[in-house]
Amino acid sequence: MATVGDPPRRRPPPGPARILAVRCPRWPVRSLGTDERGPVAVVAGGSVVAASAGAAAAGVRPGLRRRDAEVCCPDLVVLARDVAAEREAFEPVLSALETFGVPVTVRAPGWAALSVRGPARRHGGEAGLAAAVDAVLGRLGPPGRGRRGATGGRAGQPDARERWWRIGVADGHLAAGLAAWRRLVVPAGGTAAFLAPLPVELLGDPALAEMLRRLGLETIGAFAQLDQGVVGARFGRGALALHAVAAGREAVGPAGRPPQPPAQVERRLDPPTGQLETALFVARGLADELVGSLRRRGLACRLLAVEVELADGRRLERRWSGTGSASPPLVAERLRAQLESLGRHPGSPGVAEPDGAAGGELAAVRLVALEAVPDGGDQRSLWGRQRTADDERVARAVARLDGLLGPGAVWRVASGGGRGPAERACRFRFDEPPPGPLAPAPWPGRLPAPSPAVVPVTPVPAALVDAAGAPVRVDGRGALSAPPAGVALGAGPTRAVRGYAGPFPADERWWEPGDHRRRARLQVVVAGGAAYLLALERGAWSLEGTYD
């Protein structure tokens, strides 16, 4: 171990992992095996997801609405997005990367990454490794050709010599992905400097980017210079992780550590099975088990390793990132992909057939949660309650409403501290965690139950008059100037007061000079049985609630 003052030479300080990323630009289009020069766009949800080089030259950009894209480029060929096909077309790339002997992490179809540390030693450094990866991918041929029913015939043959992939090396996944865009090998420790001039949008969080732009922070470097504590307090936990990325310190910090004790589940199949259905069933059960055990510890899996072992001893481990990566249907889908990949591995004849692992029988499946994060926003069940099928149903209905009304139209409520009926109701969005339970505190001046069942959204001015028609006031000692005889709400008529109670004074935040409020509340029952809660502040009465 190094002592103080002695620079550690053998072992680098624990820092962000060196990552090599392979990214395929315009993958939704590429994976279809179409000609890059032709005007092709892939559309999902009414807007363009990716456009071929030919379409891009005509001005078709991702994010453009389909109709606008067709105006830009009248002979545009529009295809619907097929994520399953994108995954399938990416399989050969993953198989090729796995020949380097380290687990491959799939960020998304068209974006894979592997850890540099081991393979770089064998290939003469990072640049050597990048060249080796480049050579391996060069032997693959253009993507999407083997796909049945591809539209290649119409759009012509893609150019076989064209490089459809990009390779980059940097500290951490996100930086490596950005380095791959520019085909760069960023030296160790130089990631922050590499990221600094890039626009904040490239961090991949549009809401945060918009906010930073409004604050005048236009580059990742400017964001990185903010104080970490300030970022956490102002922008929340998600931004804190991105702030670490911006500073070149991805995945260092409390988030993203392997869970302690480690969380893994394994099932050995005896006898080994050749049935894909059985394998998928086992995978779903295992995923359920893993998610359940993590959830009991308040964690969610962010990086999952799926390891399969065949009866003939071959093994394949692949890593999948993203929260929700351990959800049972996704795990089953990944296991299927891995078995098919094993099936078409060199050494086993033939290609993977959809009815099972052609290369052998499945002997064991293991799922390991490599990184876990505190389960906050992903979990909507409250107060330790297990999330039930009902909750899932509600979450789906809310997701539909988000599509219908825009995100954030659905609220949930809790009661909080305060005195008036409006301040005591605490609203939060459906996907936000609820406010923590409140410590019991005295609220002098709070009225006991019942509370008004109707609380106006905007304050309604009110006029309270005595028998002579003069306005009723409350003096400094909390006494009414005269018994109220009539009340008029908004522009309504004056109604006779049949009973009243109060005034109940509330002296709020007297210790804060700017926030100090003095109010007096009065309950009033008018002829007809309706009851109102009126509040007097700075000499003016207003309607705080209706006891309806």
Partner 1 sequence: MAAPDLADPGRADPRLAAPAPAPAPSSAPGSAGPALRRPVAELAARLRPSTLAGDDLLAADEALAGLLGGPGLRRGSTVVVDGAAGAGATSLLLRLLAAPTTAGAWCALVGLPTAGIVAAEELGVALDRLLLVPEPGGRLAAVVAALLEGCDLVVAHPGGAVSPREAARLSARARERRAVLVAASAAVGAAGVDPEPVARRGGWPGTADVVLESLAASWVGIGTGTGRLVAHGIEVLARHPRHAPGAPRQLLWLQEHPGTTTPDGPALDGRMPTGGRLLGQATG
Residues near partner 1, by CB under 8 A: 382-383, 385, 388-391, 393-398, 400-401, 404-405, 409-415, 421, 424-427, 430, 434, 447-457, 460, 480, 483, 489-492, 498-502, 504, 523, 525-532, 543, 545-548
CB 466 within 8 A of CB 485: yes
Residue among 197 and 492 whose Cβ is closer to partner 1: 492
Per the CB < 8 A criterion, the answer to whether 533 and 421 are in contact is yes
Min dist. Cβ of residue 22 to partner 1 (A): 41
C-alpha dihedral sign at 265, 271, 276, 282: negative
Does a cis peptide bond (omega within 30 degrees of 0) precede residue 503?
Answer: yes
Number of helices (H) and strands (E) in the chain: give both, helices first.
17, 19
Closest distance between partner 1 and the C-beta of residue 502, in Å? 8
Burial class (CB in 10 A: 0-12, 13-18, 19+), 86: buried
Closest CB to partner 1 among residues 322, 505:
505
Q: Least distance to partner 1 from the beta carbon of 404, Å?
A: 6
Taking the least distance from each CB to partner 1, the nearer of 193 and 501 is 501
Element holding 540 (H helix, E strand): strand 540-547
Residue closer to partner 1 (CB basis): 68 or 391: 391
Q: Kindly tell me which of 125 and 499 has the beta carbon lying closer to partner 1.
A: 499
Minimal distance, residue 477 CB to partner 1, in Å:
15
Q: Which is nearer to partner 1, 268 or 387 (CB)?
A: 387
Cβ atoms of residues 150 and 134 within 8 Å: no
Kindly report the backbone phi and psi dihedral angles of residue 66, in degrees, each rounded to the nearest multiple of 5, phi listed first: -60, -45
- Tokens 């095996």: give the residue: 33
Nearer to partner 1, 450 or 514 (CB): 450
Q: Least CB distance from residue 284 to partner 1, whole Å?
A: 23
Tell which residue, 454, 470, 466, has the closest CA to residue 543. 454
Partners of 486 in the β-ladder? 465, 496
Minimum separation from the CB atom of position 298 to partner 1 (A): 18
> Residues with Cβ < 8 Å from 238, sequence gap 6 or more?
205, 208, 377
Q: How far is the CB of 547 from partner 1 (least distance, A)?
A: 6
**List of residues 6+ apart from 415 with CB closer than 8 A:** 424, 425, 426
Lay out the sheet containing 166-171: strands in order across.
Answer: 166-171, 18-23, 111-115, 104-108, 315-321, 299-310, 362-374, 263-273
- Cβ nearer to partner 1, comparing 441 with 491: 491
- Separation between Cα atoms, residue 343 and residue 14, nearest integer Å: 38
Give dist(CA 218, CA 457) in Å, integer: 37
Smallest gap, in angstroms, from Cβ of residue 63 to partner 1?
A: 25
Question: Considering beta carbons, is residue 215 or 501 the nearer one to partner 1?
Answer: 501
Instruction: Between 287 and 480, name the residue whose CB sits nearer to partner 1.
Output: 480
For the bound state, the minimum distance from the C-beta of residue 443 to partner 1, rounded and expressed in Å, comes to: 12
Residue pair 423/438 in contact (Cβ under 8 Å)? The answer is no
Least gap, CB of 410 to partner 1 (angstroms) = 6
Q: Which strand (E) or helix (H) includes residue 92? A: helix 83-98
21 forms beta bridges with: 113, 168
Estimate the crossing angle of helix 328-343 against helix 276-296, to 10 degrees.
Answer: 140
Closer by beta carbon to partner 1, 257 or else 412? 412
Number of neighbouring beta carbons within 10 Å of residue 158: 21
- Report the C-alpha dihedral over residues 406, 455, 543, 493, rounded to 10 degrees: 90
Residue 326 sits at the vertex; the CA angle it makes with 320 and 329, to the nearest 5 degrees, is 105
Minimum distance from residue 515 beta carbon to partner 1 (Å) = 22
* Beta carbon of residue 506, minimum distance to partner 1 (angstroms, whole number): 14
DSSP 8-class letter at 474: B
Which of residues 183 and 380 has its CB atom nearest to partner 1 in the complex?
380
